[in-house]
Amino acid sequence: AQKVTQAQTEISVVEKEDVTLDCVYETRDTTYYLFWYKQPPSGELVFLIRRNSFDEQNEISGRYSWNFQKSTSSFNFTITASQVVDSAVYFCALLHGSSNTGKLIFGQGTTLQVKP
Amino acid sequence: DSGVTQTPKHLITATGQRVTLRCSPRSGDLSVYWYQQSLDQGLQFLIHYYNGEERAKGNILERFSAQQFPDLHSELNLSSLELGDSALYFCASSVWQDTQYFGPGTRLTVL
């Protein structure tokens, strides 16, 4: 089965709090890619990060960091010192390297609300 | 701005009608994808075109069709529209199996 699960439907935090968004994936492929996208209230989907299955190094970009653990099939996303502008729906997605379909499999999304 | 453009931004139409959604990919991208986002189904892959050829189909209804033209822009045609087709339709583009960059979407409302 190919599946992405974002168990947290909604998260509410106060500005400056740290918050982690969970993503668990299922795949039998050895080659695959994982993504995070942000969908702000304006509606567009904004690419945040891409990770391939052979690179388990964690990544940090400003206040954003990602923790990829193949052992637990997880690709979690942490926002440090959250800001109101971080309020959005965040999607985790999976792309199989072997399928050649280009089909992104999305999780259901986590709505993050950051209150001032 | 992702570089992917979609028109129109909003579309309101009646049941039974036919509409065409248009997408222009980022410069240099040969792959175009269409996705549907609805409240009950989430983000669903519809179809993938690469350099004018259909590469993969997802859960796309028979009433829906797409094509990619020689200039690489793509159109998604939705016919015999039903209330349940109301959704946000995204186009994305990429260089083959690379990161997909999404357009701003077309919000379709079927009344």
Is the per-residue pLDDT at A5 higher than 90?
Answer: yes
Q: What is the DSSP string of B35-66?
A: EEEETTTEEEEEEEEETTEEEEE-S--TTEEE
| pLDDT digits 0-9 by tens, A79-93 | 999 999 999 999 999
How many residue pairs from chains A and B have C-beta atoms closer than 8 A? Answer: 65
Q: Average pLDDT of A3-22?
A: 97
| pLDDT digits 0-9 by tens, A21-60 | 999 999 998 899 999 999 999 999 999 999 999 988 888 9
| pLDDT digits 0-9 by tens, B19-74 | 999 999 999 999 999 999 998 889 999 999 999 999 999 989 999 999 999 999 99
Distance CA A60, CA A78 (A): 9
Interface test with A, best of B100, B101, B106, B108 (most A CBs within 10 A): B100
